[in-house]
Amino acid sequence: MTIKFNKNEEWFTFFDGEGNKIERKTEVRFDPLTGETSRVFYGHGLAMIPNDYTEAVKQTGGKNCPFCPENVLKMTPVFPKEIASEGRIFHENAIVFPNLFPYGKHNGVVIFSNQHFVQLGEFTIDTIKNAFIAAQKYILRVLKTDATARLVSINWNYLPNSGGSILHPHLHVIISESPTNYQAKVMEKASEFKNNTGKEYFSELYMVEKETKERWIGEYGDIAWIHAFAPKSHNDLIGIFSKAFTVQDITERDWEDFAKGLTSIFPALLEQGFSSFNLSLQCSEDPMDNRPIHVRLIPRFAIGQLGTSDMNFFQTLHQEPLAVFSPEDVSKTVQRHF
């Protein structure tokens, strides 16, 4: 097998106050592409409780929200004429405009609902599809005007636990000439994998996971979903656009199938007690990269009465992801909703 799924088991032995022996297992899993490690631990007893945003919605919506219909065309900035002759880009209910505080050379914000707050289980296929089509329109216009910005990502922080600062649903679209650490690592290791095996990594991952079915979830059209072997969080869902290698390759049908996958994943997140997530779609427009577009989605949450962050020193300083659920078990949970 060209892809290796390697892990080490570590056991911690201790005793309770009555002298009974307790053993706890930690799995150190190695990412099959990058070699980076993640830790899966068991016996946590962690209970996820979704946040109640009822009061926050009242306080931040309508006249207080720059993304709500009565404000969006008055309170948001506009693009240069070569990007959007009208200043902004429109597709159905989705609107794209510049981010006031950009993360890269080009950074558009996509709002995709007239409704200020949308519960995770309320997103529709059309709402999601139209938002990503609007993002695609923006990307294609940037690519026509800037030959140096070739690294593309569409990103979604859903709700405050994910880092989202505004409840109103929105995406961040970034087109940059400088790769993020993740993008650089994937480019480097995917190139090494192809040189060593003669195969493209994400296409091979798709085939291996579909065949073994250990972490396979399902597919709609040409968009397949699996769970990562070495997860970056308590769920780590990977979507692979098996026939789309550039943004130009993505069809409206692809976006519909992608949205269908997300609306199948969201109930599985809710079933586990998650209500917030980070999502990032990754694409390189450099023809030398030539790999399928892929997506990663991880849940975000707060723990207990103190609202403790789900990220501690392990993730932030050791840069070592932690997961409390077995990837193989999570894949079965999500699979039931496909």
Residues 48, 122: Cα–Cα separation, whole Å: 20
C-alpha 326/C-alpha 214 separation (Å) is 11
What pLDDT score was predicted for residue 308?
84
pLDDT tens digits, 7-16:
999 999 999 9
Check whether 49 has a pLDDT greater than 80: no
Task: Round to whole Å and give the CA distance between 117 and 168.
Answer: 5
- The beta strand positions in the chain, using DSSP E, are 7-15, 21-30, 37-41, 89-91, 94-98, 106-111, 151-158, 170-176, 216-220, 223-227, 237-241, 276-284, 293-300, 302-303, 308-309, 322-323
pLDDT tens-place string over residues 51-74: 889 999 999 999 999 999 999 999
- For position 1, what pLDDT does the model report? 74
How does pLDDT run across 142-187, given as a tens digit for each residue? Answer: 999 999 999 999 999 999 999 999 999 999 999 999 999 999 999 9
- For the whole model, what pTM was predicted? 0.96
Rounded Cα distance, 89 and 60, in Å: 25
Q: What pLDDT, on the 0 to 100 scale, is given for residue 305? A: 74
**Per-residue confidence (pLDDT) for residue 43, from 0 to 100:** 66
pLDDT on residue 303: 82
pLDDT at position 50 over 80: no
CB atoms within 10 A of CB 222: 18
Q: Which domains does the chain have, with CATH numbers?
A: 54-335 (3.30.428.10)
**pLDDT digits 0-9 by tens, 18-45:** 999 999 999 999 999 999 999 998 866 6
Strand partners, 283: 152
